[in-house]
Amino acid sequence: MRRFVDLRLRPSINDPDQVEGMARKASELGYRLVGIPLPPNVTRDKVDQLQRICSDAKIDFVTRMDLTPKTPGELLQDLRRFRRRFEITSVTCTSRRVARQAAKDRRVDLLLFPATDLHKRFFDHAEAELASKALSCLEIEMAPLLSLSGFSRIRLLSRLQREVAIAKRLNVPVAISSGVTNEYLMRRPHDYAALATLFDMPTPHALRALSEDPLAIVKRNRKKLSPDYVAPGILVVRRKTGV
């Protein structure tokens, strides 16, 4: 059976009731793993609390950091400082230079572009080529599709159609996430897959973007963060226990 993943639930992390409500709802809707964006300076206690809430709701929890750097230098600095504290690193690209740097950096897992300011969606052929070499993934948030209407939704759909076509041509994996801030915008994975057909993503691809593709990132990063990981292909299999 498929394990569905929502890598971007956005409850207020200071409101445990909201986190609990959304985690329970996600579990009820058929998700098995959720990611919640956390501020870089989040405390260990807060992470443990979120972990506990999600485990009570019978759902796996993944820590995620959303960076919004202004310059490539700031991005590199943030990655150096915080990368190993979180399981998933996402970069919201607000300038072309940041987008290019994020796409070629192997420490960046997800590339996210603003949904409302379409001039800042820099996912073109060059970006996709860099992302495909660095194993970065294009993240598509579904919440704006539900909250926008009329001309702004039409323009967003047309942009997403172009981006999905480019990603497919250059084999860049796509991750679909909800990006919702309240329970009323949460939908089942199959509903998101149906919505994804609006931007020309066939249902099987959309289902993969909701399960296998994001799950592969989580697995890869958890392996990398484990104490037994040394380098790609090298793992500690046994430790010397005293002489």
Q: Which is nearer to other proteins, 49 or 152 (CB)?
A: 152
Copy the structure tokens of residue 34. Answer: 């959720």
Say how many CA atoms lie within 13 Å of 58 toward its Cβ.
Answer: 6
218-238 burial string, b = 16+ CB within 10 Å, else e? beebeeeeeeeeeeeeeeeee
- CB of residue 178 vs other proteins: minimum separation in angstroms? 11
184 binds other proteins (CB under 8 A): yes
The interface region with other proteins, picked from 10-18, 55-63, 92-100, 181-189 by CB under 8 A, is 181-189
Q: Which residues pair with 110 in a beta bridge?
A: 90, 137
Per-residue contact flags (x/-) with other proteins for residues 189 to 228, judged by CB under 8 A: -xxx-xx-xx----x-------------------------
**The amino acid at 192:** Y
- Interatomic CA distance for residues 201 and 105, integer angstroms: 26
Q: To which H or E segment does residue 114 belong?
A: none
- CB of residue 188 vs other proteins: minimum separation in angstroms? 6
Which residues, 6 or more positions from 181, have their beta carbon under 8 angstroms from its beta carbon? 10, 11, 12, 143
DSSP assignment of 159-177, as one string?
HHHHHHHHHHHTT--EEEE
The interface region with other proteins, picked from 56-64, 75-83, 87-95, 144-152 by CB under 8 A, is 144-152
Per-residue contact flags (x/-) with other proteins for residues 6 to 35, judged by CB under 8 A: -----------------------x------
**The amino acid at 201:** M
58 binds other proteins (CB under 8 A): no
Residues in the interface with other proteins (CB under 8 A) total 20
116 binds other proteins (CB under 8 A): no
Question: What's the residue count for the chain?
Answer: 243
- CB of residue 141 vs other proteins: minimum separation in angstroms? 14
188 binds other proteins (CB under 8 A): yes
**The amino acid at 58:** K
159 binds other proteins (CB under 8 A): no
Of 13, 42, 126, 146, the one binding other proteins (CB under 8 A) is 146
- CB of residue 17 vs other proteins: minimum separation in angstroms? 17
Q: Do 61 and 36 meet the contact criterion of CB atoms below 8 Å apart?
A: yes
Binding site for other proteins (CB under 8 A): 29, 145-147, 149, 182-188, 190-192, 194-195, 197-198, 203
